[in-house]
Homo-oligomer: A and B are copies of this chain.
Amino acid sequence: MPARGDHDARRRDLSEAVWRVVAAEGFTGLTMRAVAAELGASTGLVTHYFPSKTALVRHALDLAAQRVDAMPRRTPDADGMAALRAAILDVLPLGRAGQIAMNRVWVSSWDLALADDALGEAQRERYARWRERLRRQVQTAQERGELPAGDPEDVSATVAAFTHGLVTQALFDPEEFPAVRQERLVEGFLAGLAGAG
Contacts and interface: CB of A to CB of B under 8 A. Distances in A.
A163 B169 CA distance: 12
Interface in A144-195: 150, 154-155, 157-158, 160-166, 168-169, 171-173, 176-177, 181, 184-185, 188-189, 191-195
A9 interface: no
Contact of A161 (B27, B165, B172): B165
Q: Identify whether the interface residues of A are mostly helix, strand, loop, or mixed.
A: helix
Interface residues on A, range: 35 or more
B28 A115 contact: yes
A116 to B, nearest CB: 9
A165 B189 CA distance: 14
B115 A107 contact: no
A138 to B, nearest CB: 12
A185 B107 CA distance: 23
Copies in the assembly, this chain: 2
30 contacts: A27-B111, A28-B28, A28-B111, A28-B112, A28-B115, A108-B110, A109-B111, A110-B111, A113-B172, A114-B172, A120-B172, A124-B172, A124-B173, A127-B172, A157-B177, A158-B162, A158-B185, A158-B189, A161-B163, A161-B164, A161-B165, A161-B169, A164-B165, A165-B165, A168-B168, A188-B196, A189-B192, A191-B196, A192-B192, A194-B196
Given A25-B115, A26-B114, A154-B184, 20 more contacts: A26-B111, A26-B115, A28-B28, A107-B111, A108-B111, A108-B115, A113-B172, A114-B171, A123-B172, A150-B188, A158-B185, A158-B188, A160-B165, A161-B161, A161-B162, A161-B169, A163-B165, A164-B165, A165-B165, A188-B196
